[in-house]
Every structure is written in structure tokens, then in C-alpha cells.
Chains A and B, each alone.
Chain A
Amino acid sequence: MSKHLKFLTALAFGVAAAGLVAAGPASAKVEGDTIIIGSAISFTGKYSTNGIHASNGYNLGVKRVNEMGGVMVGGKAYKLKIKYYDDESTPLRTAQLAERLIKQDGIKFILGPYSSATTKAMAPITEKYKIPMVESEGASRSLFTQGYKYLFAVLSTSEQYLASSIALAAEIAKKNGRKPSDVRVAMAFENDPFSLDVRAGVIDDINKFGMKIVVDDKLPRDLADMSATLTKVKALKPDLLVVSGHSKGAATAARQIKELKIDVPMIAMTHCEAAKIVKLFGAATNDFLCPTQWAETLSYKGKYFGTAAEYDKLFKATYDGYKNVPYQAAQASAAVLVWKDAFERANSFDTEKLRQALSETNMKTFYGNIKFSKAGNNIAKPMVLRQIQNGKFNVVAPSKWASHKVNWPRKVPGM
């Protein structure tokens, strides 16, 4: 080994050490009059559409709180600020970034990533370091069975997403003089933690009604083609088609349902708003059923954004290109409000006191009521089912919140 090589090795390690030191600016949890909340979210990769919706929601929440006087702790007004990292839509990266936020950046407060898979990677680490995380985008119910104490989620869990569509199908069958057990269901789910969890909820309900499953396909990630499944659907003529595959999956499903002229009387899928399917595929998406965590037509109201409709208006005015505000953005803003509320009630930056304050959260917001169970999920807000009726999303189930009647069978103009 030569002197040069030795020098080179030393150089490499020196650069590495210097780089890593430089990589972590010494931003503490609170700097001057700013509270820094950390978030690793998907700016690139397959969840980037929703990751950006969510970060827009976070940013709008922060902006609003800061505009309205910031956060009062110990008689002093603090501004909120979010430190972001890109998790590339992979849990592999999330775990590394969680360590980085907590260990190097000294962050003590976390806003969750987008998707169940990444939240699953984040939660064990925040839990280990006893750092509270308020998350708004990880819905998998398995997150709330691990006994996590520092995890709080403002959204409803994923097994509730499409279950209401099964109940609705049973209801319609009864109305038409058929037995619910005669209903034949076709299912297409992306093979990822979130969609499989949605599937588990759907299967529970299908079994409850004794319905028949005629297609049960698990589709590859980053779903770009599901024509094989849809061809089967066309041949088997089920009464209900349920699809779940994040935004990409919803867009693919809507496109191919249009192209292949699938005429199932009832179609339900997740992520309709986030995938902007109405804007992309127009009338072909008529009468799709879309579960949502939140809708701008609901009568929720809170101090910070006013009503759900007012939030909707503000969001559209702030960010270009939204015909419908995705619930992913709304719940992200709600998560920021939860942090703000907890800081003020705890009146401290101590993570233990904050955890306690978070667990006692009971607030009314534009996003709905927020109250956490012992497991950390929000139990005060229902999931609602909307139908795309003439390009508009109208709430059709559950009946308590329904503003419109469900259209059945679905009608597509020109088909």
C-alpha cells in the first residue's frame, strides 16, 4: 500500500466525516421563537403525488397557525416550522431519516410520513426515542395494535375505507328483493401494506353478509395496468367492483374502466380525489363510489380554518391545480392543528407532557372531531362514502351524513 493510497483513504474518511457533520445543522427542537417539527415525506417515488398533497396540507396548517398569532407556550408566541426530508416513498429511507431527524437535527416533534408502509417504519423509532408523532397519512390498523404510546393519528383506519361500500351493496340488494348473500364481488388490490389492510376490512364485511368473491386479484406496485383483472370482470359480470391502489392505482383503474367499457352496476375505489380522476377521465367516472376521510360538504367546523367548505376554498386559492381538495391534504393540516393545540395545553416543550396532552386531545376542527383512543387512532370521526355524480363528489353513506341519494346502477353518459 502506498502513501498516496493511504492519503486517499484518509481523505475519503475525512470527507465522509466532514460531510456528515455538515449534513446535520444543529437545529434544536425550538430555535428562538420557532418550534421545529420534523417530517420525512414522499417528494419522489410512487407516493409523491400524495406526499406533495400532504406536505401542502402541512404547509397550509403551519401558515394559518403562524398568521393567527402562532403557538402560545409559557406566555410567549412561537412560530411553527417544518423540517422536511424526502423519503423516496420507501420505508427503507424513512427509518434512516427518522434517526436523522431525532439524533442529528435534535427534533422532538414529528409529523408523520405519507403511507402506512413508511409510517410503520417510522413508528418503532419514534417510540424508542419517546418522541411523539402526530400522523395523518398512515391508516393501516396494524399501526394501532402494537401498543405504541407516542403515535397519534387523526384519520380513520384503513379497514373502514371500503367496508361501507359492501354494506351499501347489501342494502341495495335487499331493496331490489335479493339476498345480500347473492351479491358477487370482484376485488383488485395493490399488493402493499395499505391496500392489503383495506382488503382485510372488505373481506370481513363480505363474510359478514355471506357474499361471493368472484375475482380476488393482488396487483403489482405502482399499478400501471390492470386490464387482465378488468377483462375477467367483464366476463364474470359481478355486482360490485372494489379497487384500491393509492393514486396511481385509482388513475389506472379509471382509465382502463373507461377504455374497456366496464359496466358493473357499482364500482368503489380509494383515492379518487387524490388521483384527480374526474379532471382526467370526465364522465367515464360517473357514479364511482369513493371513500373519503373528509369532505368539504360536511358540517365540520373549527377555530382555525372555519368550516370544511372554507378550508376547501382557502386551499384552492393557495395551491394551483386542485379541482377537489384531497382529504390527504386536509388531514395533514388537521395534524398541524393537533400539535398546536397540544403545545398550548401542555404549555411546555417537554415530550412527556406533550404526549400526555396529545392523548387528552379533544377538539373540533374543520376536518371533524379529533379524539384519540388509547391505541392512538382517532375515534371521533367517521369515514364517509361519496359518489361522483355529474362530476361532483356527493356524500351518499353513511345515512347520517348523506346529502344525496346513491345512484344505482351506475350510468355513464354515452354507454
Chain B
Amino acid sequence: MNTRLRRTLPYAGLLIAGIAAPFLFPDYTFQFTVLWVMILFALTWDILGGQMGYNSLGNIAFFGVGMYICAVVQIGLYYDVAQYTASYGAVKVEFTAEQYFTGLAVGLIAAGLGAMVFSVILGWVVFGLRGPYFAIGTLGVALSAGELTGAWDYVGGGGGIALPIYPGEPDDRSLFFYALCFVLAMILFFLLRWIYLGRFGLAANAIRDDEEKAEGMGIHTMRYKTVGWAIAAFFLGISGALFGNMIGFIEPLEVAFPTVTFGLFMVVMCLLGGRGTLWGPVIGATLFHTFKEVTWTYLLGWQWVALGALIVVSVVFFQQGIVGWVKEKWPEKFGIAVDDRALAETEPDLDEAPSQRLRRQTEAAQ
């Protein structure tokens, strides 16, 4: 098999699997849809968390912001939002198919852009923080975003918003949202592949390895961090908007800003699959989602214990995640040349006395 073909195969496999899944297992369309959203979560978290070493615990805020922006746009285009939410959904609103799809399309775009703007403003505030302070700072943002939305009567407060219902058949609806989530995840995946291979990827990794040094070398670290976060926010915002419409009923704490579930799952999925790699989040999310679906069915009552055990095992034994572990085990498969002799020569022998080393080096030079 030639290299080119071998390299394209996994990507083609992913695309084919994504397209075939709802046709092979039509009854599982909804779970597959959630799977793509999970993959999207993991991929977006990895932009900062994996590639740049900025562990955000608050990315879920963009998900919720997108969800609410889309809901407000969808309803606001045709009705008075405050009036609609004041009755806690007691008013029935009818949307024609045309109104529904127009509202959704405008809402999705607004959700992505809105979340992106939010991330830029937020980044300006929190990117001064490093390490655990950044993690806790962003966590605070996500938690307070949920509480603030819950206190905001215009969007229904804690009562939430019932979203317009898809006008077609239920099976079409599943497929429709599946297609949107799949396409969105694929766009993100190939976009990330493209930017990681270029200058952005190098700069991001430089920031992760040593931000001061990167700065010293003339990399505009703030610009890269902001762009990275804006990409994450854009896709999370749209995924939030889609997810809200799939659920049909949104409210701030459990659906829009689920910090302790989805907000942490995205981190766990990356850690499981291998942070800082392109495929890690995809594999991590797939395994995690499958594990969760299976334990939630067969280990009812023990499901959280099983999930906790999985997290402990992955953190203790696979600190670099699955992809990281494989990479270490078979580095040559990843195009990483390991020459033991060269390595021995470049690495200093710590037992060697300085004078001895100097003599050896001079001899080698001659």
C-alpha cells in the first residue's frame, strides 16, 4: 500500500462510517447524533486544552450561549420573546415549515457568531490567567453564566424555553439533525487538521511548551489563543443551538450549561483519547460515549461508579491517552525517527566528568 493511500484511509473511514451509520442502524440515529456532538466537544476542547496547554473548564459556556441565542432568534423572528417566556411555555406557538427552517438557519449562524464574540471578549479577560487559575476562572464563567441566565426573565429564567417543533416526520427529524451534527463535526475536524499542520499548529504547541519563550520568539501568543478559542466557541455555539433543538426544551442549568456533566466530559474524553493529537479526541469521545451508553443500560445504579473507574484508570495508566500511548509504543509508525545511537550521542552521559567530556568532544571534532 502506498503511503498516500495509507494516510487517507482513516479519514475516508471516518467519513464513510459517518455517512453509513444512520442507514445501517437507523434506530440508533439519535445516539450517533449525540456521538458527533461529543466528538465536537472533545475536538474543540483540545484546541486550547491539548494544543496550547490551556485547560479550560468553562468551554460549555459557549454551548449554552449558542443554544440561547438560537432559541431567542428562532422565536424572536416571529413572536415577542418576553411574552412567550413569561407564560413559561403556556402559550402555544405555531411555526410553519418555512418559518421553522428560516428561524433555525438564522439562529444557527447567530449562535456561532454570538458565541465567538463572547469568547473574544471573555478571552481578553481570562487569558491573563495561567495553569490552575485559568481552569478555575473559566469554570467560574460557565457556572455563573448558567446562574445569570436562570435569573434573566426575558429568556424564561429557570423556567426555560420550549422550542419550536420540527415540522416533518420524526424519522426525518432524527436524520436532519444527524446530518447537521455530522457535517459540523467533519468541517471542524478537517479544519483542525489543516490548521494544525500549518503555522497555527506550531505556534500553538510553542505556547504549550513555553509561552514566554514563544512570546520572545515573536509569536503573538494572545492572537493565537484568541483565534483558537474563537474557533472552539464558534463550533460549540452551533452545536449548542442544534442540541437545544434536538432536545426541544431548554433551561439554563441542566440543558444549556451542564458544567459538571458535558463540561467535564469534554475534558475526560480528550484525556482518554490523547490530548494534543488530532485523532485522540475522536477516539476518546467514541469510547467514552459508547462506555456511557452501555453502562447506563446494563449497570443501572452503578453507572457513575463505572464511569469514575474509567476516568481513574485512564488518568493513572494512560496519562497520555490512547493515541499518546500508541505513539510512544510505536513511534516509527507516526513518522518519528528513533535512532538509539544518535540519541546516545546527543544525550549527555551524566556520570562523565566535565573534563573527560570536553576531551571526547574535541576528539570527535577533530
Interface residues of A, Cβ cutoff 8 Å to B: 1-6, 8-10, 12-13, 15-17, 19-24, 43-44, 84-86, 88-92, 95-96, 99-100, 103-104, 117, 120-121, 124-125, 128-129, 140-142, 145-147, 190-193, 195-197, 200, 218, 220-221
Contacts and interface: CB of A to CB of B under 8 A. Distances in A.
B301 A43 contact: yes
Given A13-B17, A147-B92, A200-B88, A103 B30 contact: yes
Contacts of B87: 142
Interface in B189-247: 246-247
B159 interface: yes
Interface stretch (B42-50, B104-112, B127-135, B281-289): B281-289
Interface stretch (B95-103, B118-126, B251-259, B340-348): B251-259
Interface in B142-193: 147, 150-151, 157-160, 162, 165-166, 170, 173-174
B281 to A, nearest CB: 12
B10 interface: yes
Given A100-B30, A191-B151, A15 B255 contact: no
A107 to B, nearest CB: 12
Interface of B, secondary structure class, is: helix
A218 B88 CA distance: 15
A90 B13 CA distance: 34
B333 A3 contact: yes
Given A23-B293, A191-B158, A104 B249 contact: no
Interface string B1-38: 00000110111011001000100110111111011000
Given A5-B279, A16-B286, A43-B300, 7 more contacts: A1-B11, A19-B291, A88-B261, A89-B254, A91-B254, A100-B31, A193-B251
A13 B300 CA distance: 24
Interface stretch (B311-319, B322-330, B355-363): B322-330
Contact of A120 (B11, B27, B30, B249): B249
13 contacts: A6-B13, A9-B13, A43-B300, A100-B31, A103-B28, A103-B30, A120-B89, A124-B249, A128-B166, A128-B170, A145-B90, A193-B159, A196-B158
Interface of B: 6-7, 9-11, 13-14, 17, 21, 24-25, 27-32, 34-35, 87-92, 147, 150-151, 157-160, 162, 165-166, 170, 173-174, 246-249, 251, 253-255, 258, 261, 279, 282-283, 286-287, 289-291, 293-294, 296-298, 300-301, 303-304, 322-323, 326, 330, 333-334
Given A96-B34, A121-B249, A193-B159, A24 B27 contact: yes
A4 B173 contact: no
Nearest to A103: B27
B10 A1 contact: yes
Contact of B249 (A12, A22, A91, A200): A91
A276 to B, nearest CB: 22
A85 B247 CA distance: 17
A323 to B, nearest CB: 25
Given A9-B279, A23-B293, A103-B28, A4 B326 contact: yes
Contacts of B279: 1, 5, 8-9
B284 to A, nearest CB: 9
A12 B10 contact: no
A19 B290 contact: yes
Given A43-B300, A86-B300, A121-B249, A218 B283 contact: no
Given A20-B28, A191-B157, A196-B157, A92 B89 contact: no
Interface of A, secondary structure class, is: helix
Contacts of A6: 6, 9-10, 13
A142 B290 contact: no
A159 to B, nearest CB: 9
A91 B29 CA distance: 19
A22 B294 contact: yes
Contacts of A3: 6, 333
A21 B26 CA distance: 11
A88 B295 CA distance: 13
Contact of A92 (B31, B254, B303, B322): B254
B157 A85 contact: no
A192 B253 CA distance: 9
A8 B25 contact: no
A357 to B, nearest CB: 23
Contact of B290 (A4, A20, A99, A218): A20
A91 B247 contact: yes
Contacts of B170: 125, 128-129
A21 B25 contact: yes
A144 to B, nearest CB: 9
A164 to B, nearest CB: 20
Contacts of A129: 170
A17 B25 contact: yes
A192 B150 CA distance: 9
A146 B158 contact: no
A125 B27 contact: no
Contacts of B147: 220
A85 B294 contact: no
A91 B251 contact: yes
A117 B251 contact: yes
B258 A104 contact: no
B71 to A, nearest CB: 14
B92 A2 contact: no
Closest 4 CB pairs of A and B: A191-B158, A2-B333, A142-B89, A99-B30
A4 B13 contact: no
Contacts of A103: 27-30, 174
A89 B258 CA distance: 12
A145 B158 contact: no
A85 B297 contact: yes
